[in-house]
Amino acid sequence: MKRKSFGRDRGLTLRMLFTSGLLGVLYIAFAFALIEFAGVGIVGMLVIVGGMSLVQYFTSDKLALLASGAKVVSEQQAPELHAMVERLCAMADLPKPKVAVIDTDIPNAFATGRNPNHSAVAVTTGLWNRLEPREVEGVLAHELSHIANRDVLIMTLASFFAMLAGILTRYAIFFGGGGDRDRNGPPIWLIVFLVSLATYALSYVLIRTISRYREYAADRGAALVTGAPEHLMSALQKISSGIASIPQRDLREVETMNAFFIVPTNLKSSFGELFLTHPPLEKRLAALARISQEMGRPV
């Protein structure tokens, strides 16, 4: 007898496909506009963006650890944490990542790395001290699912052109400032500027949408690995409530790491959901509850 896969969410799969498709169409249009109006050669463009993406991709594990002030800990320094990560990895059939600890009282965790063999998972001391072991396990399983799902790769690919568009909006004037003015119509730099701006704005929303879908996928992965979605649910609730009650000043130290954290620190955002990298808590809890129900059903 085979168990069916839990949390198979056709709607989520379709939405992920649709958003990625939209982003792809947008980038093709953007590339076309750049080549047509700004006269940037395809080769030049690929070198700039490709180079930046490669650097980001290959240094992602070290960069993220460095930026968050996480320290890699040995098995002697944190035996229980290592044991927990090891068991979860064995269950998920993943190689063991580097294990790091961030010395801050805010409970949180993140994972990074370009592939499962070059990955790291970090937890804050606050997470370890404030949560029950089964809840920490749920959070770690969520982070390991990000590694299993290759989320750094996906997000690097997704932000490939968004980075270029971001740079061009700032430097459009230098790109098209001189040159052929004898053509009628608006100046080229203005077109480049507007196209880049539109691309950047649209891709910003789309990338965040993809990021939210990846969070649902990682929550589902955690439920599979631990077999106990309810612990991740209580952990998420504890983490979000803890974050809301701690003064803003402490939060600023870790603000750049938001996209990788299990619950982002700037929860007070007044923008709509479109601009968030993580889905709202209630929606994540609802999705986990659904998976939990499916698991309870007899096979």
Partner 1 sequence: MGLADVLFGRKKLKEAQEERLFALSTARVTLDVELGLRPGGRAAVVFKALSSGDFVRVENDLQELLDVAARDTGSRVSRKEDEFGFNWIVVEDPDLEDLVATVHLVGSELKARGFGPQLLASLFRFDGYRHPVYFVYGYKRGAFWPFVPTGNEKTRDNAKELELKAKLEAELPIEQDLTRWLALFDAPV
Residue 5 CB, shortest distance to partner 1, in Å, is 4
Contact present, 120 and 253 (Cβ < 8 Å): no
Tell me: does residue 234 bind partner 1 (CB under 8 A): no
Question: Binding residue for partner 1 (CB under 8 A) from 45, 46, 57, 96?
Answer: 96
Q: Which of residues 267-296 bind partner 1 (CB under 8 A)?
A: 292-293, 295-296
Residue carrying the six token digits 């507007």: 194
Question: Binding residue for partner 1 (CB under 8 A) from 43, 93, 185, 268?
Answer: 93
Point out the catalytic residue in the list 143, 215, 282, 294: 143
Residue 77 CB, shortest distance to partner 1, in Å, is 12
Between helix 133-148 and helix 188-226 the angle, nearest 10°, is: 130
Contact present, 224 and 7 (Cβ < 8 Å): yes
Burial (CB count <10 Å: 0-12, 13-18, 19+), residue 4 = exposed
Strands 109-113 and 119-124: antiparallel
Question: Binding residue for partner 1 (CB under 8 A) from 61, 135, 137, 143?
Answer: 137
**For residues 69 and 115, which CB has a smaller minimum distance to partner 1 in the complex?**
115
Residue 112 CB, shortest distance to partner 1, in Å, is 16
Question: Binding residue for partner 1 (CB under 8 A) from 106, 127, 191, 225?
Answer: 225
Question: Binding residue for partner 1 (CB under 8 A) from 47, 90, 201, 244?
Answer: 90
Tell me: does residue 79 bind partner 1 (CB under 8 A): yes
What string marks each residue from 28 to 67 as x (binds partner 1 by CB under 8 A) or -?
----------------------------------------
Cα distances (Å, whole numbers) of residue 249 to 105, 106, 190, 209: 13, 12, 39, 28
Rounded CA separation 144/221 (Å): 8
What string marks each residue from 5 to 34 as x (binds partner 1 by CB under 8 A) or -?
xxxx---xx--xx--x--------------
Question: Binding residue for partner 1 (CB under 8 A) from 45, 46, 228, 267?
Answer: 228
**For residues 244 and 289, which CB has a smaller minimum distance to partner 1 in the complex?**
289
Residue type, 247: P
Residue carrying the six token digits 């496909």: 17
How many residues bind to partner 1 according to rule CB under 8 A? 56
Tell me: does residue 150 bind partner 1 (CB under 8 A): yes
Active site (annotated) includes residue 253? no
Residue 200 CB, shortest distance to partner 1, in Å, is 24
User: Would you please indicate which residues are annotated as catalytic (active-site) residues?
Assistant: 143
Site residues, partner 1 (CB under 8 A): 1-3, 5-8, 12-13, 16-17, 20, 75-76, 79, 83-84, 86-87, 89-93, 95-96, 133-134, 137, 145, 148-150, 153-154, 214, 216-218, 220-221, 224-231, 292-293, 295-299
